[in-house]
Amino acid sequence: MLAIDYLSKIIVMLVGVYCIKKTLPLLSNFNAIIPVFYIYNFTMVVPIVLEVFIDLPNRPYEIIMKAMSDRGTTVIYCGLILAGELYLYNAIKKKQTSYDTYIIQFAGFHSKRHQQICFFLQVLTAVCCMLFLVLIFFSPNPLLYFTQLGAFSLYHSMRTTQELLYHGDVLRPMMYVSAVIVILNRYIKCKNTKIMQYFLIVMITLVNGKRTFTMMLIGVLIIIGYTQELNGTIRKTVFVAFVAGVYFIIYGYVTGKVNYNPSWYSTISEYFFRAEHTRLAIFSCLHPDAVRILSYPGQTILYDLFYYIPRTLWIDKPYPYPIYYFAAVMQLGEIVNSDWRFQTSCWPELISNFGIIGFGVGCIIMKKMAEYYDDQDHIIKILGITLLCLLQIYEYSDLLKIIVIIELLLIIKRKIFI
């Protein structure tokens, strides 16, 4: 007789395969909920499928393994995932937007005005490339960026005060500006700047020193490409995913992070899947005596809503959710602002803040936000889709902040001038 937790996994796998198969013909519909649905399946359902055939990943953290092997936690997780899968699938079936009628907005991309905008972006991109190199050259220790990948993100405590200040006040803002310029080039379809775009992506990678920012930036470019041209998008996505995977592996060996996880399965489970994070949040709700992530309901949601209030004015202001999650996993007993932390998504944070019901609230919010973005201008819709996807993978990414700021500025501009 099959154990109830294993049976739950099989049901989730079968329903997931069925829903994905049914939505494949709908990819020609420009519906914001579709990318959200596929990211949901990749981060939450695929881990269950792997568990059915391979078993649990061997994670080096005791409390995570306890949560993932707990039968009650697994059954509740599968129930939530199944409900979310069917809810999002039903949302896709109800609303379908013609891709062909939406893509007509790009008809003017060969006009004289488009050529003028492209010329301006070419000059701006070239200046950005040169300025990036100059700023690195005048940094306190330029060789760090070319000889030690992750010099500031992984070895923060080894850097001098002068190096940290220059990196934080000069090069990080330059990195954000470069990311915006790369995104604009992709959106405006400036083909003459491709080499400079690749150069900026490399420079962003060297300065940021982490895998996630670069890979998410590439993900944003893929989403923009999907909204502009459907033909060949899947082929390009597979190729880019392969290149990103190779880079991910090389980065792990260069920085030594490959030694932190015992296998490839464990590595992708930590960096790409969000099943273990969500299950730990559920486990903490079921067994608060074994692990407690937050001190009170809504704790990190308060931070998300009012993070801009200086801590000097709000001494007890909460910290970002990954800091509490890190403390819980490492069983530290108190929060520690470490140089590194686990990447989390919106799902475990909502469960930690509001209990099991938080997951359902998250699904409803995802659907409502997708419907809102479906009615917005093209660029706002692209940014909105990217935002909803990132929330399910890396909710506290710097790139997410950039997207939110750009989106808010565009919405305000439209409200004022239109």
Read off the pLDDT of residues 2-32 as tens digits, 9 standing for 90 and up: 588 889 999 999 999 999 998 888 776 668 8
Helix 46-54 / helix 4-23 crossing angle, nearest 10 deg: 130
Q: Is the pTM of this model over 0.75?
A: yes
Any idea which of 155-164, 309-318, 368-377 has the lowest mean pLDDT?
155-164
pLDDT tier at 100, thresholds 50, 70, 90? very low
pLDDT tier at 156, thresholds 50, 70, 90? low
Which pLDDT score is estimated for 416?
A: 66
φ and ψ of 189, to 5 deg: 65, 50
Q: Averaged over 375-400, what is the pLDDT?
A: 80
Which pLDDT score is estimated for 263?
A: 72
Which pLDDT score is estimated for 338?
A: 62
Q: Would you say 182 and 287 are in contact if contact means Cβ atoms under 8 Å apart?
A: no
Q: Give the 3-state secondary structure of residue 98.
A: strand
Which pLDDT score is estimated for 101?
A: 45
Q: Averaged over 331-354, what is the pLDDT?
A: 83
Which pLDDT score is estimated for 257?
A: 63
pLDDT above 80: residue 109? no
pLDDT tier at 149, thresholds 50, 70, 90? low
| Residue at token pair 């559920």 | 282
pLDDT above 60: residue 417? no
**Helices (DSSP H) in 375-397: which residue ranges?**
378-391
pLDDT above 80: residue 233? no
Q: What angle do CA 200, 226, 360 make, to 5 degrees?
A: 105
- Give the residue, 108 or 259, on which the prediction is more confident: 259
The span from the CA of 391 to the CA of 12, in Å, is: 22
Q: Averaged over 359-374, what is the pLDDT?
A: 93
Q: Averaged over 255-284, what is the pLDDT?
A: 80
The span from the CA of 114 to the CA of 360, in Å, is: 44
Q: Would you say 81 and 47 are in contact if contact means Cβ atoms under 8 Å apart?
A: no
Nearest CA among 194, 200, 191, 229 for reference residue 115: 191
Which pLDDT score is estimated for 49?
A: 93
| Average pLDDT of the chain, as a whole number | 82
pLDDT above 60: residue 116? yes
- Tell me the domain boundaries of the chain: 4-97+274-417, 108-260
pLDDT above 80: residue 224? no
Q: Please report how many Cα atoms fall inside a 13 Å half-sphere around the Cα of residue 99, on the Cβ side.
A: 15
Which pLDDT score is estimated for 102?
A: 47
**Helices (DSSP H) in 287-377: which residue ranges?**
299-306, 321-329, 346-354, 357-374
Count the residues in the chain. 418
pLDDT above 70: residue 254? no
What is the CB neighbour count within 10 angstroms for residue 137? 9
Which pLDDT score is estimated for 104?
A: 41
List CB contacts of 172: < 8 A, sequence separation 6 or more.
207
Tens of pLDDT, residue by residue over 47-98, are 999 999 988 888 888 999 999 999 999 999 999 999 999 999 999 887 765 5
Which pLDDT score is estimated for 146?
A: 81
What is the CB neighbour count within 10 angstroms for residue 330? 15
